[in-house]
Amino acid sequence: MVHAISLPPGCYGGHEVEQLFTNQLDWDQHPYFESIRGMTVSSHFYIRRQGELQQFVSIDDRAWHAGLSSYRGRSNCNDYAIGIELEGAEGGPFEDAQYETLTALCAAILARYRTADLAGHEHVAPGRKTDPGIGFDWCRLQRSLGLPPERFPEGTCS
């Protein structure tokens, strides 16, 4: 499951996302953080703008990235989905280096879990979440992985 995150929103390059995922964020550091104070969230992976990959949770363990969610008839996506956060803004563009890292990571995950589908947070929690949003190029990811459109959310690529 692909997500987009930046803390504060639209700011890149800091350590606030890692601090959030490791329960070390200083809630008083920025006024925006008051709106997410106490939030406990984690992701399996985080890909920075330059393509740097960080892992926070083993793919064999549950991460808390999906929230209330359902995809293709299965609810509670945290129980079975692997969360990949891209440093970015919801709906904004992503960097070539991020797509390269994401493609390599997805290929490795798909080699281990051959039946996996790919989706965004917006597809498992429609109306509640909008990331990664219109700036994410699903067709580019599909072409890079060489997968059929059926492995992606309906309408994202043909």
**For residue 24, what is the domain's CATH number?**
3.40.80.10
Q: Is 155 among the domain residues?
A: no
User: In terms of residue numbers, what domain contains 88?
Assistant: 2-150
Rounded CA gap, 20 and 71, in Å? 26
Q: Is 158 among the domain residues?
A: no
For residues 90-102, one letter each, b for 16 or more C-beta atoms within 10 angstroms of the residue's C-beta and e for the rest, the string is bebebbeebbebb
Q: Please, which pLDDT band fits residue 158 given cuts at 50, 70 and 90?
A: low
Rounded CA gap, 49 and 5, in Å? 11
**Strand positions, DSSP E, 58-154:** 70-71, 74-75, 84-87
Q: Is 50 among the domain residues?
A: yes
Contact 9, 32 (CB under 8 A): yes
Cα-Cα end-to-end distance for the chain:
19
Mean pLDDT of the chain: 95
Burial of 5 by CB count in 10 Å (0-12 exposed, 13-18 middle, 19+ buried)? buried
Helices (H), the chain: 16-21, 96-112, 121-124, 138-145
Catalytic residues, by residue number, are: 85
Total domains in the chain come to: 1
CA distances from 88 to 36, 79, 146 (A): 17, 25, 25
pLDDT at 46 over 80: yes
pLDDT at 56 over 80: yes
Q: Is 91 among the domain residues?
A: yes
Q: Is 156 among the domain residues?
A: no
Q: Is 93 among the domain residues?
A: yes
Give residues with Cβ within 8 angstroms of 87, minimum separation 6: 4, 5, 6, 12, 17, 46, 47, 48, 49, 98
pLDDT of residue 55: 98
> Residue with structure tokens 């390599």?
104
Q: Is 86 among the domain residues?
A: yes
pLDDT in tens, 92-145: 999 999 999 999 999 999 999 877 899 999 999 999 999 999 999 999 999 999
Q: Is 63 among the domain residues?
A: yes
